[in-house]
Amino acid sequence: MSKQFKNPVLNWIEYRLPIFSFIDDSVGSGYPTPKNLNYWWNFGSLAGFVLVIMIASGIVLAMHYTAHVDYAFNSIERIMRDVNYGWLIRYIHMNGGSMFFIVVYIHLLRGMYYGSYKAPRELLWIIGVFILLAMMATAFMGYVLPWGQMSFWGATVITNLFSAIPIVGDSIVTLLWGGFSVDNPTLNRFFSLHYLMPFVIVGLVVVHLWALHEHKSNNPLGVDIKGEQDLIPFHPYFTSKDLYGMAVFMMFFMFFVFFAPNFFGEPDNYIPANPLATPPHIVPEWYFLPYYAILRAFTKDFFLYWPVAWLITAKLAGVIAMFSSILLLLLLPWLDGSKVRSSKFRPYYAMAFWVFVIDCLVLGYVGGKPAEGTFIVIGQIATAYYFAHLVIIIPLVSRLERPKPIPESISAAVTAAHAKQAGE
């Protein structure tokens, strides 16, 4: 098991703590990976990379930040103006949040397209959904910390959602606030939890990787690994490919940090929080907009609300729908009944997938608009489609569709492709 080195110090360590073989088996030459992964498989390591950037920049910001309603806003401006390169660290952290969600959403959609959630990777997928939930909690609480207008009013709107829960709702809201309104105790606990949650995410990522290493990566063909001929070692093949991907991604990331640092933000958050003045449009950060649209779709005249109208309020229905929109993803491995993983061999599922992506974009667009006129109707149709995709279209299509013939193995398909290329 353990490795042998020429260097006696390395041998001494390896004999007592086999850390070198552990690293090698995790991300080195000892970790076999399907040879046909495309660039969409870069986004997993990219997400880990952004997580590290977020934790590093966040720890430095926390050294200069003051979690108090009277000082929070000004302490951030002190970081921007007087702390050495404080503006750089803060803009990295601020835009890093958006980058994290861009990367993770692509990672998640890649998993959906290539059927990475299917057996034997159901738990890997489920842990991933938990990571997404943890990220959302972290991002929401982080957005409150600058204590600008959107911080305050976003926190007020979102925490108030819990009051829709019958009987215990109001107690939960009081507990979240640490009082009877969003105030200093709220800011303090959000700061504490915002510092804690990233390490919870790190823990979940470790379990995510543990599950990944058990059955290895899925691949664009979605066929099982048949043997050595299908595999190449992670290092140097995917270390080099991931590093290249990271450099390209950093160009994208750094473009925003240096040239459009407030592109993803709301101008209102540069106004200090004022509990007496409500901003005309309260909108969450862009990565929450689809869920916000689902939440707001539930009005008295929305047909999805009618069946439960006798039981719960429209507000509660909206809250439940918003959380279900993510929690339903946990069931995806069983909602999808097809044995074939990759959409390459499932033309109808692939079509449904792209309509779903468009639907999510529509939801995001509607979520950023005021809830009036046609936006309400569009939001309701898109919401209905979102759930229809998960609980009707996927189960039906996956069971009715006759997939195209799948290749025998990864290496067989790769060889065939090369032969075709050479023939041209």
Cite the active site residues: 213, 217, 241-242, 285
How far apart are alpha carbons 181 and 30 in whole angstroms? 55
The residues, any chain, with a CB within 8 Å of residue 261's CB and separated by 6 or more, are: 91, 94, 95
Residue 415 found at the interface with other proteins (CB under 8 A):
no
Site map 121..140 versus other proteins, x via CB under 8 A: --------------------
β-strand partners of 148 = 272
Alpha carbon separation from 333 to 124, 267, 338 (Å, rounded): 11, 41, 10
β-strand partners of 233 = 32
Residue 303 found at the interface with other proteins (CB under 8 A):
no
CB of 46 to other proteins, least distance (A): 13
Alpha carbon separation from 424 to 318, 407, 418 (Å, rounded): 55, 21, 10
Residue 270 found at the interface with other proteins (CB under 8 A):
yes
386, 363 contact by CB (below 8 A): yes
The single residue among 15, 71, 252, 354 that binds other proteins, judged by CB under 8 A, is 252
By CB under 8 A, what part of segment 357-376 binds other proteins?
Answer: 368, 370
CB of 75 to other proteins, least distance (A): 11
Residue 20 found at the interface with other proteins (CB under 8 A):
no
Residues 73, 78, 80, CA angle at the centre, nearest 5°? 95
CB of 218 to other proteins, least distance (A): 19
Residue 233 found at the interface with other proteins (CB under 8 A):
no
Alpha carbon separation from 148 to 65, 118, 207, 274 (Å, rounded): 14, 43, 36, 8
Comparison of 3 and 35: residue with beta carbon closer to other proteins: 35
By CB under 8 A, what part of segment 69-88 binds other proteins?
Answer: 74, 77, 80-81, 87-88
The single residue among 12, 15, 71, 244 that binds other proteins, judged by CB under 8 A, is 244
How far apart are alpha carbons 21 and 26 in whole angstroms? 8
How far apart are alpha carbons 387 and 213 in whole angstroms? 32
Number of residues in contact with other proteins, rule: CB under 8 A?
41
How far apart are alpha carbons 329 and 117 in whole angstroms? 10
How far apart are alpha carbons 241 and 236 in whole angstroms? 8
CB of 170 to other proteins, least distance (A): 32
112, 332 contact by CB (below 8 A): yes
Residues 255, 260, 263, CA angle at the centre, nearest 5°? 120
Q: Tell me the window of 161-169, 238-246, 313-321, 395-403 that interacts with other proteins (CB under 8 A).
A: 238-246
Comparison of 33 and 325: residue with beta carbon closer to other proteins: 33
How far apart are alpha carbons 219 and 34 in whole angstroms? 7
CB of 368 to other proteins, least distance (A): 7
CB of 247 to other proteins, least distance (A): 4
Residue 64 found at the interface with other proteins (CB under 8 A):
no
List interacting residues with other proteins (CB under 8 A). Answer: 35, 39, 74, 77, 80-81, 87-88, 91, 232, 236-237, 240-241, 243-244, 247-248, 250-252, 254-263, 266-268, 270-271, 280-281, 283, 368, 370
